[in-house]
C-alpha cells in the first residue's frame, strides 16, 4: 500500500469511527482489530516513523481521549481527521481502544465457555486477546521513545491475525483457563536423550523415522518429568517421542505433573512421523497440559531434507498453533519452521510471549535458531525456547542443545556460546 493509499484508508476509517457513537465490548474489539491492521499495513517509512513518537505523548493523549469517548461516544482524536498528524492520531486511537477494551475484557476472558470465539473480530480477520503480560515501556531508558509499534502499540491486548503467510492461526484455550493473574517470571524445562539412536526406512528416496532407541528410557523419562515439575512449560525434542514413549510421558505427568500448585503448564511432547486424523503422514507433535491431557496436536510446516536420506516422508502442516494460558501466550513449532533463514520469520508476525521449539539437528541448525531467537527478542521483545536433540547420523557431532535466556546456566549444563539476550548451552550426557 502506497503512502497515498494508506492515507485514504486512514481517512475512511476515521470517518467510519465518527459514525459509531455507541461503544461496547464487541465494537471496541472490532475497532481495535481494524486499527491494528491499518497500522501494520502502513508504508515502511511510516512504520519507521512510529519509533519517533514520544511514549508520553501517546499515553497522555490516549488517557484524555478515552475519557472523551466514554462521555461523548466513539470519535477520532481531536474530533477530525488531519493528514499531517495521521500517524500520531492512529497511534492514540489504538492506545485508547486498548485502554477502554481492557475493562470489558476482564469478564470475557475467563467466565465464558469459549472465550476464543469472543476474541475474534466480526470480520474474522483478527483475534484480540487480553494479554497476560502487559507491555510496560521502559521510559527511564528511553525505550518508549525509540520502540516500534510491535513493541508498544497495544499494552493490554495482543492482536493476532487469523491467517499469517497463508497459514491458518488456530487458538487453543485450556479447559482450566481462569481470570488473569499477576505475571511472574516464566520457567522452562528441556529434556534430551543421551546416546539416542533412531531407525528409519527409505520411502522411495524419502525417509520415515520408524524407531527410537535409548538405554533405560522408561527411567529416564520419569527423571525428566520430575526434573521439570516446577516449570511453566517443558519441551522434548523433535522425532524422539513415538507413541510408546508418549504414553510413558503422559503417565508420568499424571502422577508428577507440572506446576501442581496451580494446575497450569504446557508440554510439547516431542514429535514423530505420524498419520493425522485425515490419514496424512506428518511430522506431528502433541501439546499436553500439566497433567498429561492432550490439548491439541500440531504439525511441522517446513519439511527437512537430509543430505543422504533425502526429505522427510511427510506432508507439511497448514496451520500455526497459539495457546492461551493464565500466565502467558505461547506458540509452538518444530525445528526448521523456526530455524529456516531462507523464509520470512513467521514468528515475528505473531505477538506471543514465547515460542517453544522442538528441534533435531547440528550446530548449523542451532545457528539458525539463535539468529531467529535474537531477532524476536531484540526486534519484538519476545522469547524463544529451543530444545534440540543431536542429529542421529552426525557421529562426530551428537551434542544436545538448549537455547534459553542467559540469566544463569543450570546445573549439569555447560555454556558453549553466548549471544545476548540468549545463551546456547550444551546439555551434558
Number of helical (H) and strand (E) elements in the chain, helices listed first: 11, 21
CA dist., res. 283 & res. 312, Å (int): 8
Judge contact between 211 and 245, C-beta under 8 A: no
Other Cβ atoms within 10 Å of 197 Cβ, number: 12
Residue ranges, CATH 3.60.110.10, the chain: 188-427
Most confident of 72-81, 98-107, 179-188, 393-402: 72-81
Judge contact between 131 and 282, C-beta under 8 A: no
Other Cβ atoms within 10 Å of 342 Cβ, number: 7
Whether the ω angle into residue 421 lies within 30 degrees of 0, i.e. cis, is yes
As beta bridge partners, residue 288 has: 267, 294
Across 354-372, average pLDDT: 90
End-to-end CA distance of the chain: 53
The overall average pLDDT reported for the chain is 84
| In the predicted structure, residue 408 carries a pLDDT above the cut 50 | no
225-242 pLDDT, tens digit per residue, is 888 888 889 999 999 999
As beta bridge partners, residue 297 has: 286
Across 357-361, average pLDDT: 93
Q: What are phi and psi of 362, to 5 degrees?
A: -120, -170
Q: How confident is the model at residue 79 (pLDDT cuts 50, 70, 90)?
A: confident
CA atoms within 13 A on the CB side of 270: 24
Question: Which fold does the domain 188-427 belong to in CATH?
Answer: Nitrilase/N-carbamoyl-D-aminoacid amidohydrolase (3.60.110)
Q: What is the percent of the chain where pLDDT is above 70? A: 83
Say whether 230 sits in a helix, a strand or coil.
coil
Identify the weakest region by mean pLDDT among 41-50, 168-177, 307-316, 393-402: 393-402
| In the predicted structure, residue 19 carries a pLDDT above the cut 60 | yes
202-218 pLDDT, tens digit per residue, is 888 888 888 888 888 88
Q: How confident is the model at residue 414 (pLDDT cuts 50, 70, 90)?
A: very low
Across 267-295, average pLDDT: 94
As beta bridge partners, residue 158 has: 129
Q: What are phi and psi of 378, to 5 degrees?
A: -75, -40
Give Cα separations from 205 to 202, 238, 302, 308 (angstroms): 6, 21, 18, 9
Other Cβ atoms within 10 Å of 330 Cβ, number: 25
| In the predicted structure, residue 401 carries a pLDDT above the cut 60 | yes
Better pLDDT: 309 or 416: 309
Q: How confident is the model at residue 180 (pLDDT cuts 50, 70, 90)?
A: low
Amino acid at each position: 500500500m502506497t503512502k497515498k493509499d494508506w492515507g485514504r484508508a486512514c481517512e475512511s476509517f476515521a470517518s467510519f469511527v465518527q459514525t459509531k457513537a455507541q461503544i461496547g465490548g464487541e465494537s471496541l474489539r472490532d475497532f481495535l482489530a481494524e486499527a491494528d491492521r491499518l497500522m501494520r499495513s502502513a508504508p515502511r517509512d511510516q512504520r519507521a516513523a512510529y519509533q519517533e513518537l514520544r511514549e508520553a505523548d501517546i499515553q497522555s493523549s490516549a488517557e484524555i481521549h478515552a475519557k472523551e469517548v466514554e462521555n461523548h461516544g466513539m470519535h477520532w482524536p481531536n474530533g477530525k481527521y488531519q493528514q499531517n498528524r495521521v500517524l500520531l492520531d492512529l497511534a492514540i486511537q489504538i492506545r485508547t481502544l486498548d485502554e477502554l477494551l481492557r475493562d470489558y475484557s476482564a469478564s470475557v476472558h475467563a467466565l465464558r465457555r469459549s472465550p476464543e470465539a469472543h476474541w475474534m473480530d466480526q470480520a474474522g480477520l483478527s483475534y484480540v486477546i487480553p494479554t497476560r503480560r502487559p507491555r510496560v515501556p521502559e521510559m527511564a531508558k528511553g525505550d518508549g521513545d525509540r520502540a516500534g509499534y510491535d513493541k508498544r502499540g497495544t499494552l493490554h491486548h495482543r492482536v493476532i491475525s487469523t491467517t499469517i503467510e497463508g497459514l491458518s492461526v488456530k487458538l487453543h484455550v485450556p479447559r482450566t483457563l481462569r481470570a488473569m493473574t499477576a505475571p511472574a517470571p516464566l520457567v522452562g524445562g528441556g529434556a534430551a536423550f543421551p546416546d539416542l539412536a533412531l531407525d528409519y526406512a527409505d520411502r522411495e528416496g524419502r525417509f520415515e523415522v520408524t524407531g527410537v532407541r535409548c538405554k533405560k528410557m522408561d527411567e529416564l523419562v520419569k527423571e525428566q518429568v520430575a526434573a521439570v515439575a516446577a516449570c511453566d512449560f517443558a519441551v522434548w525434542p523433535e522425532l524422539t517421542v513415538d507413541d510408546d514413549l508418549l504414553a510413558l510421558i503422559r503417565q508420568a505427568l499424571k502422577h508428577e505433573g507440572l506446576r501442581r500448585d496451580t494446575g497450569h503448564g504446557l508440554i510439547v511432547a516431542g514429535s514423530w512421523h505420524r498419520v493425522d486424523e485425515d490419514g496424512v503422514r506428518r511430522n506431528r507433535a502433541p501439546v499436553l497440559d500439566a497433567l498429561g491431557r492432550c490439548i491439541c496436536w500440531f504439525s511441522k510446516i517446513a519439511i527437512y531434507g537430509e543430505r543422504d536420506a533425502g526429505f522427510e516422508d511427510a506432508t507439511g502442516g497448514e496451520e500455526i498453533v497459539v495457546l492461551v494460558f493464565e500466565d502467558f501466550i505461547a506458540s509452538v513449532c518444530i525445528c526448521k519452521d523456526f530455524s529456516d533463514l531462507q523464509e520470512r520469520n513467521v514468528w515475528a508476525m505473531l505477538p506471543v510471549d514465547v515460542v517453544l521449539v522442538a528441534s533435531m539437528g547440528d550446530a548449523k541448525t542451532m545457528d539458525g535458531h539463535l539468529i531467529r531467537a535474537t531477532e524476536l527478542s531484540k526486534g519484538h521483545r519476545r522469547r524463544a525456547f529451543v530444545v534440540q536433540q543431536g542429529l542421529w547420523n552426525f557421529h562426530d557431532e551428537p551434542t544436545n542443545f538448549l537455547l534459553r535466556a542467559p540469566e544463569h546456566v543450570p546445573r549439569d549444563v555447560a555454556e558453549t556460546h553466548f549471544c545476548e539476550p540468549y545463551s546456547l548451552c550444551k546439555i551434558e550426557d
